[in-house]
Structure 1
Amino acid sequence: MTTPLKVIFAGTPDFAAQHLAALINSKHDVIAVYCPPDKPSGRGKKLTACTTKLLALEHNIIVEQPVNFKSEAAQQQLAQYDADIMVVVAYGLLLPEVILNAPRLGCINVHGSILPKWRGAAPIQRSLEAGDNKTGVTIMQMDKGLDTGDMILTAQCDIENTDTSASLYEKLANLGPTALLETLDLMAQLNYKASDHNIAQDNELATYAKKLDKAEAELNWQLSAEQLHRKIRAYIPWPVAQFTFTESETEPKQHTLRVWQASVQEYQGNAAPGTIIKADKNGIEVATANGALRLEVIQLPGKKALPVKDLLNGRSDWFVVGSNINKLG
């Protein structure tokens, strides 16, 4: 027998909002939503609410926006809701132990990887970059460590060779809500005992998914074509992989081009990494440390992304076979 749970939800971006929407449409009762304070956005720096807050207000759910949970007032406010459980999805704030222990069933988190692999801030991107063939979501009982809590339930999906972080994000946004509701239904059972269901993580198998840095986006042709291809896919939609080149030696104007689509090509030649070995309607092929990378969709500064065949119509002189892609002209 199960009884509906009183749920506090904490989250920020669209990924979190999709989980909140599933909760709102479930038998469980969302009694409050927590999200970070509104942030300045756009040219006018107007304070803008996150997607999760907008959804909560649309459904007349109370919204709380503490800067953090260090103050006793913020801690007491949450405790007063007398929630059965707190669900955390891409919230962005650290929860102290007093908050983790406040709800009757504690706090659970929806994490975008198959734990203990890829704990941390960027599990989707790091999984793609590393060449994993599977990923998923883990519903985890939160503790004071970083994604170290016991696992309650996991759901998996394949990573295809065409997946980007954007497409994988959508896959997990579809997996996560179903897994979350299944977990809550399990925990809502009157005879539920965490010790009967939770599985401790093996810390020896843990890997860390550090936050992305813009500096990582620069393509290094000394890597293999496969590595570069994974990086390009992992960095869509942000920060987007790029390469910088000098237009000519006499007029050293630099351009930074962003790469939105590429593919790995076989290459048995001996051209130095970074050398353009082909440029036609199919793309610009560049030699790497192993194989060639065909650049297929490129974005010039201040312009929209274009198929290479369109770019070559006006810039064919930039991409001369035999030249180094970082030193053109």
Structure 2
Amino acid sequence: MSPLRVIFAGTPEFAAHHLEALLGSQHQVVAVFTQPDRPAGRGKKLQASPVKTLALSHNLPVHQPIHLKTPEDQALVEQYQADVMVVVAYGLLLPKAVLSLPRLGCINVHASLLPRWRGAAPIQRAIQAGDTETGVTIMQMDVGLDTGDMLAVSRCPIEPTTTAAELHDQLCAIGCPALIDTLNQLADNSVKPVPQDHNKANYAHKLSKEEAQIDWRQPADTIDRLIRAFNPFPVAFTLLGEERLRIWQAAVVSEQTSAPPGSIVSSEQYGSKSRLVIACGAGQLALTSVQLPGKKALAIADLLAGSSAKFAEGTQFISAEPADE
């Protein structure tokens, strides 16, 4: 088997893990494409993507086009005479002209069991929907959005307590070897593409900070899934007056209550067994890790030790407005 000449295109940490695996393989990374540097942090200084940082540390050529639609952009890809282009969370759609430039086309590492979740946020939407299983699909790219034939599938369970941060790491762990195995199969012409069932597709919309506000009229298990799906970004929150309380972790309490949704049912300090329980539309939710404005995330025991009066029983959190149908 001859090593493949690979162009890598990706941007966030998930992509950087796959680039690192590729650099440790027998295949040759000849160039890296990533999103332009973006302002980040309080100072809004330009910050390189994790993929760019890793690529530069390995002295790889790095390109950061705004898009790949112009002849000049496409000539950048063509000049490397790559066998294949590997795309992982790049953030740009590849035009048809680019898809056909590498000898073996372009393949994508997608964090979902396609066609279950296509689009920008498959990890978070799988948790939010209550899926019990997800995985990584290696896909031959076509002009559609995550619609190409599947080349490899690796599965991963979603546990009842799994957060998006944890699932991200689990999918990295199975996606990296799946990518290398697929490249090996492409190199020896043994890969077997499988078409997707387009009737089973769902679109994983990009996350918004607005939808992170909790609607306490929802059932407790629905709110719990939202909290886990939005950890570590954008982080679920609720309002206490005008103060925003970010909720990092919680646990469903199955007992019912007649208290109004969003009201504190129980606020008790018992050291490590302290409780802050909120009424929901059905069931209750025990908050376990929360964050006050300008502060670090705190366990409930530490929160109540410093702010118990603020979280007295009967206190009402403000619910988000219901989403438009």
What TM-score, normalized by structure 1, do the two folds share? 0.92
Q: Are residues 1:265 and 2:232 paired?
A: no
Report the more deviating stretch, 36-45 or 105-114: 36-45
Alignment of 1:93-242 (within 5 A): 93-189=92-188, 191-192=189-190, 197-242=192-237
Q: Residues of 2 paired with 1:238 and 1:213: CA distance?
A: 9
Q: Extract structure 1 runs of 4+ deviating beyond 4 A.
A: none
Deviation string 1:44-101 (CA, Å, 9 cap, x unpaired) is 4433221111211211211122111111011122112111000000111111000001
Name the SS of the counterpart of 1:297 in structure 2.
strand
Match of 2:292 in 1: 300
Name the SS of the counterpart of 1:137 in structure 2.
strand
Pairing partner for 2:243 from 235, 238, 255: 255
Q: Alpha-carbon deviation of 1:272?
A: 2.1
On the 8 A contact 1:267/1:287 being kept in 2, the answer is no
The change in CA–CA distance for 1:273 and 1:149 in structure 2 (over 3 A counts) is same
Q: Residues of 1 paired with 2:296 and 2:317: CA distance?
A: 20
Alignment of 1:80-99 (within 5 A): 80-99=79-98
Q: Residues of 2 paired with 1:77 and 1:310: CA distance?
A: 54
Q: Residues of 1 paired with 2:293 and 2:46: CA distance?
A: 28
Q: Alpha-carbon deviation of 1:173?
A: 1.0
Q: Residues of 1 paired with 2:199 and 2:113: CA distance?
A: 14
Q: Residues of 2 paired with 1:8 and 1:160: CA distance?
A: 35
Match of 1:284 in 2: 276
On the 8 A contact 1:134/1:156 being kept in 2, the answer is yes
Q: Which has the greater radius of gyration?
A: 1
Q: Residues of 1 paired with 2:239 and 2:45: CA distance?
A: 33
On the 8 A contact 1:18/1:173 being kept in 2, the answer is yes
Q: How many pairs does the alignment contain?
A: 315
Could you tell me which amino acid in structure 1 is paired with residue 255 of structure 2? Answer: Y
Name the SS of the counterpart of 1:40 in structure 2.
strand
Could you tell me which amino acid in structure 1 is paired with residue 248 of structure 2? Answer: W
Deviation string 1:257-310 (CA, Å, 9 cap, x unpaired) is 001111001213322222221111332111111111001111111111111122
The change in CA–CA distance for 1:323 and 1:60 in structure 2 (over 3 A counts) is closer
Q: Alpha-carbon deviation of 1:319?
A: 2.0
The change in CA–CA distance for 1:226 and 1:30 in structure 2 (over 3 A counts) is same
The change in CA–CA distance for 1:322 and 1:54 in structure 2 (over 3 A counts) is closer
Q: Residues of 2 paired with 1:309 and 1:45: CA distance?
A: 35
Q: Residues of 2 paired with 1:299 and 1:214: CA distance?
A: 16
Name the SS of the counterpart of 1:267 in structure 2.
coil
Match of 1:35 in 2: 34
Name the SS of the counterpart of 1:180 in structure 2.
helix
Q: Residues of 2 paired with 1:42 and 1:307: CA distance?
A: 25
The change in CA–CA distance for 1:41 and 1:314 in structure 2 (over 3 A counts) is closer
What TM-score, normalized by structure 2, do the two folds share? 0.93
Could you tell me which amino acid in structure 2 is paired with residue 260 of structure 1? Answer: W
Stretches of structure 2 that go unaligned for 5 or more consecutive residues are 320-325
Pairing partner for 1:310 from 293, 302, 308: 302
Q: Residues of 2 paired with 1:38 and 1:310: CA distance?
A: 38
Name the SS of the counterpart of 2:318 in structure 1.
coil
Q: Alpha-carbon deviation of 1:235?
A: 0.5
Could you tell me which amino acid in structure 1 is paired with residue 210 of structure 2? Answer: A
Could you tell me which amino acid in structure 2 is paired with residue 234 of structure 1? Answer: A
Q: Residues of 2 paired with 1:79 and 1:227: CA distance?
A: 48
Could you tell me which amino acid in structure 1 is paired with residue 253 of structure 2? Answer: Q
Q: Alpha-carbon deviation of 1:43?
A: 4.2
Report the more deviating stretch, 124-133 or 32-41: 32-41
Deviation string 1:103-139 (CA, Å, 9 cap, x unpaired) is 0110000000000011000000000001111111000
